[in-house]
Amino acid sequence: MQSQNEIPWSVAVFRRVGYGLLVLALFDLIAIFVPLRLMNPLWQFEAMGAIVDRVAIPLLGLVLVFFGESKFRLPIEQTFLKALRWLCLLVGLLFFLLIPLGVVNTLQVKALNNTQMNAQYNQQKAQIERVQQQLNQLQGQQLENFIRSQGRTLDGQTPQQAKEQFLEKINQNKQQMQVQFEQAKANRNLTVLKNSAKWNLGALVAGILFIYIWYLSSWAL
């Protein structure tokens, strides 16, 4: 019979790699939460995504650490595994709690994105409308000078004809800008919803797996 000091090579490597992965996961977690911006829904949303995207590392680490059950364990490691087992349960429950938080943050991030994009669009639209208003008020030489200041030439047209052509071009640009704005907003909202679905479902799966590890490691009591 092998003694505690005669740990098979494969068991020793698996467990040490497992502990190493858990330490790396801890470093990742610290990097995610520093600095804390708990009142920022966008930060909460992205932090949740970062945690879920990296959850495979601690899960794999736990599998390797618990490999071989209680065989070839020192008493101090047995004590540590008891605490680690209950930590798995706690982490699993926390992942479940992330789901409603993720749903709320999704709605808040979507509203925030829409507000920012609407503000940018309205600012650009106001600039174009100011040009239109200024152009409509100009006549004669002032109109010709304004058209030339915009990098355009009359090309044999009267100032009024150039003005109408310029206004038509502005209207086309406004319509094109609105189409691009609606498409950009739809694409951003779709990205938020896709990430939300991915991360919320990932949190559900991760929670189940952590609790499953807790359940299967009852030998560590």
Residue at 99 is within a domain: yes
Residue reference for tokens 């640009």: 173
d(CA 55, CA 22) in angstroms, rounded, equals 10
Residue at 4 is within a domain: no
Residue at 2 is within a domain: no
CA dihedral (2, 6, 9, 11) positive or negative: positive
Range of the domain at 146: 9-220
Query: What is this structure's pTM?
Result: 0.82
Check whether the bond before 8 is cis (ω within 30° of 0).
no
pLDDT by residue for the chain (221 residues), tens only, comes to 444 457 788 888 999 999 999 999 999 999 999 999 989 999 999 999 999 999 999 999 999 999 988 888 888 999 999 999 999 999 999 999 999 999 999 999 999 999 999 999 999 888 888 878 877 777 767 777 776 776 666 666 676 777 777 788 888 888 899 999 999 999 999 999 999 999 999 999 999 999 999 999 998 87
d(CA 154, CA 161) in angstroms, rounded, equals 9
Residue at 71 is within a domain: yes
Residue at 130 is within a domain: yes
Range list of H helices, the chain: 9-33, 41-53, 56-65, 75-137, 140-149, 159-216
Residue at 15 is within a domain: yes
d(CA 34, CA 43) in angstroms, rounded, equals 11
186 sits in the region (left: phi over 0; alpha: psi -120 to 50; else beta) called alpha
Residue at 1 is within a domain: no
d(CA 87, CA 81) in angstroms, rounded, equals 9
Residue at 3 is within a domain: no
CA angle, 122 then 172 then 169, to 5°: 110
Q: 17 to each of 27, 75, 96, 175, 221, how far by Cα in Å?
A: 15, 20, 27, 59, 23
Q: How many domains does the chain have?
A: 1
d(CA 183, CA 86) in angstroms, rounded, equals 48
